A and B are shown apart, each in its own frame.
Chain A
Amino acid sequence: MAHTATYIQALKEAIDEELERDERVFLMGEDVQAGPFGVTGGLVKKYGPERIRNTPISEAGFVGAGLGAAIAGSRPIVEIEFAAMVYMAFDQLVNQIAKTRYMSGNQVSAPVTIRSAVAMGLSAGAQHSDTPHALFTHMPGLKVVVPSGPRDAKGLLKTAIRDDDPVMFLESMALAATKEELPDEEELIPFGRVNVLREGDDLTIVALGSAVPPAAAAADTLQAEGVSVELVDPRSLVPMDWAGLFASARKTGRVVVVDDATPLCSFASEAAASIGEYCFDELKAPVRRVTRENVPVPFSPPMEKHILLNPDKVLDACRSILTLERSV
């Protein structure tokens, strides 16, 4: 049996099931009782205000409290309303939570799940539209997960809450209304395993989170033109399934990385560099990167549209390497 759920509903199911399963799990963040994105609203009726805990607008304070609670034996889910507000809590995330196990000489772990909304794409403006996943991969100690659909959102969030390490779980609001069949039985999706969304032989597109829909649309167009595209979603940035990415790159010899983020020192850069370094002999063309433009997200819709990803940008990158054939 299965049921259909949106990305938002899937996230809610994961939180609900984990609260039900484990008394140590609790949720805190700004407005979590109201649940303005629809993920957490209503949970307070079932679990009460102690476990569905509204916080002040105090990111550094309550993220730090999440760490203390984790050290003391709880399993906190800490919600930061928008990922662009994680900067308020940056010390706690990268200097405290990420380093707790390491600095303590393995005495304690910091099993905190930090959830945050990314990729608004709705004229939210420069301070509410960031996709800072790469920042957290640059600071060793955090796991970083960016699900691209409802089934992954649920299965990966359940894994995050049970993980003994801290997890940054970035929920793409651009995907909020996407729907998918979910199994009724419990499903835990492990981190660090690529999801091959479609198999192909001519070209690999790597994309995760909100980069998947434009990548899939470009793949559809190419497929109609007779190009066999492999679409690979790594799902988690830390741990990264390098073996899965390299296997696809070596098979097709042509790779485009699509990343809904700014380009410098991005996931796209890291993936392109590593594929270049470890799959050089099999590559028939340079690895191309498709990202947002290197600016904050502007407010006015035509400008916002101009700098964000779209299928045409992905198509252009794919076509630019499809006809290349390296001669050595």
Chain B
Amino acid sequence: MSTQVETPLLVSQYETIKRIRAFEDKSISLFQDGIVPGFTHAYCGQEAVAVGVCSALEPGDRVGSNHRGHGHILARGADSSKMLAEILGKRDGYLQGMGGELHIMDASINILGANGIVGAGIPIAVGAALSDRLQGNDNVTVSFFGEGATSEGYFSEAVNLAAIWDLPVVFICENNLYGEFTPASEVVAGEIYKRAEGFGIPGVRVDGQDVVAVNEATRTAVERARGGEGPTLIEAMTYRWYGHFYGEEALTGDYKYRSDEEIADWKTNRDPVKLTRDRILQEGLADEAELDAIDKAIDEEMESASQFAQQSPEPPPEQALDFLYSARIPGPADAAKEL
């Protein structure tokens, strides 16, 4: 694979967008095979946001994620094999099967973790930025959350903390138009990006399907944050293809909270994979054959990740009693045996 030095930024962004899409396609296919325990909250449709943001970051920067976090974590450079193994609950997964897809974390690349509670990751990201400030580190922390999280108290509390302390945080609100099975238009008052004004920080709205627009807005915010000028709120307008979680129709039944036409429109006309590919071709940054080669390499990577994940052993059941504290704490039965 060529390095970023030789590859135009847009082409490397395309590669990561494509990697996220292929990863989600693979995880959905494994879900359909019935071997994914629990749920999968697919990121399909939103790829340009994660990639536009993360391609504006330096290696030491931190990323806090949410329940729809696969894309954020892959965009940061996480290993697709270990991610897929975690989604299958296997021993070689990132969390050794302890957390699953809602909690994927790779501390070695400064990922603060996905989070199963809407909004809960936002103050955690702010705290990481506070720590960096106190310890004299030059890092910026990005906090990803959806438009649904802006209705949680966490959003207001965390943005307020970052604003009063001028912390190096970039808040990325991915407005994918729905919170679970309810349209944002029913439950979110006003314009989210305009809430920034009330906190005295910049707020901008970008087209979340346009990786270049997302990247440019993020670069401005990151520069501001690293320069000690405080946080920025970016609202990226986007769309989740597969609903709150893949296969949600099994729970929602006949209830329709969005139209087939709307879904088809986003898939056909605003697919970030297609938009980015078209733009590369228009600008002559690569030709069809080069992009096809990228696609093929990624498909092979996901096939290999899938094999790795499926072949990884199950964790031993008794591992469930590990990792709670730095050392295991004996209970009353242990104490009684010792006496």
Q: Report yes or no: A96 in contact with B117, Cβ–Cβ below 8 A.
A: yes
User: Does A58 lie at the interface of the complex (its beta carbon under 8 Å from any beta carbon of B)?
Assistant: yes
Q: Which residue of A lies closest to B329 (CB)?
A: A239
Given contacts A61-B160, A67-B124, A71-B128, contact A278 B323 (CB under 8 A): no
Q: Report yes or no: A62 in contact with B123, Cβ–Cβ below 8 A.
A: yes
User: Does A107 lie at the interface of the complex (its beta carbon under 8 Å from any beta carbon of B)?
Assistant: yes
User: Does B34 lie at the interface of the complex (its beta carbon under 8 Å from any beta carbon of A)?
Assistant: no
What string of 1s and 0s marks CB contacts (under 8 Å) between B240-276 and chain A?
Answer: 0000000000000000000000000000000000000
* Number of chain B residues whose Cβ lies closer than 8 Å to a Cβ of chain A: 55
* A247 / chain B contacts, CB cutoff of 8 Å: 339
Q: How far is the CB of B238 from chain A (nearest CB, A)?
A: 25
* Cα separation A201 to B98 with both chains bound (whole Å): 47
Which of A8-16, A48-56, A296-304 lies at the interface with chain B? Answer: A48-56
What string of 1s and 0s marks CB contacts (under 8 Å) between A130-171 and chain B?
Answer: 000000000011010000000000000000000111000000
Which of B129-137, B190-198, B207-215 lies at the interface with chain A? Answer: B129-137
Q: Report yes or no: B329 in contact with A68, Cβ–Cβ below 8 A.
A: no
* A91 / chain B contacts, CB cutoff of 8 Å: 117, 120
Q: Report yes or no: B131 in contact with A74, Cβ–Cβ below 8 A.
A: yes
Per the 8 Å Cβ criterion, residues 126-164 of B in contact with A are: 126-135, 141, 153-154, 157-158, 160-161, 164
Q: Report yes or no: A68 in contact with B339, Cβ–Cβ below 8 A.
A: no
* B124 / chain A contacts, CB cutoff of 8 Å: 64-65, 67-68, 71, 96
* A100 / chain B contacts, CB cutoff of 8 Å: 113
Q: Report yes or no: A108 in contact with B335, Cβ–Cβ below 8 A.
A: no
* B330 / chain A contacts, CB cutoff of 8 Å: 239, 242
* Cα separation A58 to B156 with both chains bound (whole Å): 9
Q: Report yes or no: B98 in contact with A102, Cβ–Cβ below 8 A.
A: yes
* A24 / chain B contacts, CB cutoff of 8 Å: 135
Q: Report yes or no: A243 in contact with B324, Cβ–Cβ below 8 A.
A: no
Partner of A105 from the list B62, B120, B323, B338 (CB cut-off 8 Å) is B323
Partner of A68 from the list B125, B323, B324 (CB cut-off 8 Å) is B125
Partner of B332 from the list A55, A58, A61, A278 (CB cut-off 8 Å) is A278
Given contacts A24-B135, A105-B95, contact A61 B161 (CB under 8 A): yes
Q: Report yes or no: B161 in contact with A65, Cβ–Cβ below 8 A.
A: yes
User: Does A183 lie at the interface of the complex (its beta carbon under 8 Å from any beta carbon of B)?
Assistant: no
Which of B123, B160, B335 neighbours the largest number of chain A CB atoms within 10 Å of its CB? B123
Given contacts A95-B117, A102-B324, contact A65 B127 (CB under 8 A): yes
Given contacts A61-B161, A243-B335, A274-B332, contact A104 B131 (CB under 8 A): no
User: Does A323 lie at the interface of the complex (its beta carbon under 8 Å from any beta carbon of B)?
Assistant: no
Partner of A72 from the list B105, B131, B331, B333 (CB cut-off 8 Å) is B131
Q: How far is the CB of A147 from chain B (nearest CB, A)?
A: 19
Q: Which residue of A lies closest to B319 (CB)?
A: A105
Given contacts A24-B135, A64-B154, contact A105 B99 (CB under 8 A): yes
* A72 / chain B contacts, CB cutoff of 8 Å: 62, 112, 127-128, 131-132
* B171 / chain A contacts, CB cutoff of 8 Å: none
* Cα separation A96 to B160 with both chains bound (whole Å): 20
Per the 8 Å Cβ criterion, residues 307-339 of B in contact with A are: 322-326, 329-336, 338-339
* Cα separation A296 to B87 with both chains bound (whole Å): 44
Q: Report yes or no: A55 in contact with B325, Cβ–Cβ below 8 A.
A: no
User: Does B45 lie at the interface of the complex (its beta carbon under 8 Å from any beta carbon of A)?
Assistant: no
* Number of chain A residues whose Cβ lies closer than 8 Å to a Cβ of chain B: 57
* B131 / chain A contacts, CB cutoff of 8 Å: 68-70, 72-74
User: Does A92 lie at the interface of the complex (its beta carbon under 8 Å from any beta carbon of B)?
Assistant: yes
User: Does B107 lie at the interface of the complex (its beta carbon under 8 Å from any beta carbon of A)?
Assistant: yes
Partner of B127 from the list A68, A108, A164 (CB cut-off 8 Å) is A68
* Cα separation A72 to B113 with both chains bound (whole Å): 12
User: Does B97 lie at the interface of the complex (its beta carbon under 8 Å from any beta carbon of A)?
Assistant: yes
* Cα separation A100 to B99 with both chains bound (whole Å): 10
Q: Report yes or no: B324 in contact with A140, Cβ–Cβ below 8 A.
A: yes
Q: Report yes or no: B332 in contact with A64, Cβ–Cβ below 8 A.
A: no
Q: Report yes or no: B113 in contact with A104, Cβ–Cβ below 8 A.
A: yes
Q: Which residue of B lies closest to A273 (CB)?
A: B332
Partner of A69 from the list B103, B130, B325 (CB cut-off 8 Å) is B130
Q: Report yes or no: A68 in contact with B130, Cβ–Cβ below 8 A.
A: yes
User: Does A192 lie at the interface of the complex (its beta carbon under 8 Å from any beta carbon of B)?
Assistant: yes
Q: Report yes or no: A68 in contact with B64, Cβ–Cβ below 8 A.
A: yes
Q: Which residue of A lies closest to B123 (CB)?
A: A64
User: Does A101 lie at the interface of the complex (its beta carbon under 8 Å from any beta carbon of B)?
Assistant: yes
Partner of A104 from the list B98, B122, B130, B331 (CB cut-off 8 Å) is B98
User: Does B96 lie at the interface of the complex (its beta carbon under 8 Å from any beta carbon of A)?
Assistant: yes
* B23 / chain A contacts, CB cutoff of 8 Å: none
* B157 / chain A contacts, CB cutoff of 8 Å: 56, 58, 60-62, 64
* B132 / chain A contacts, CB cutoff of 8 Å: 72
Q: Which residue of B lies closest to A23 (CB)?
A: B135
User: Does B239 lie at the interface of the complex (its beta carbon under 8 Å from any beta carbon of A)?
Assistant: no
Q: Report yes or no: B339 in contact with A250, Cβ–Cβ below 8 A.
A: yes
Other CB < 8 Å A-B pairs besides A61-B158, A62-B157, A64-B124, 17 of them? A26-B134, A61-B123, A61-B126, A62-B123, A65-B161, A68-B126, A68-B130, A71-B107, A74-B131, A92-B123, A95-B117, A103-B103, A104-B113, A107-B95, A108-B107, A274-B332, A278-B332
Chain B residues within CB distance 8 Å of chain A: 62, 64, 93-99, 103, 105-107, 112-113, 115, 117, 120, 122-135, 141, 153-154, 157-158, 160-161, 164, 322-326, 329-336, 338-339
User: Which 4 A/B pairs are nearest by Cβ-Cβ distance?
Assistant: A68-B127, A64-B123, A61-B157, A65-B127
Chain A residues within CB distance 8 Å of chain B: 23-24, 26, 50-51, 55-56, 58, 60-74, 76, 91-92, 95-96, 100-109, 140-141, 143, 163-165, 192, 238-243, 246-247, 250, 274, 277-278
A-B residue pairs in contact (CB < 8 Å), sample of 22:
A23-B135, A56-B157, A64-B120, A64-B127, A68-B126, A72-B62, A72-B131, A101-B326, A102-B323, A103-B95, A103-B105, A104-B107, A105-B97, A105-B323, A106-B98, A107-B107, A108-B105, A165-B325, A242-B331, A242-B335, A246-B332, A278-B336
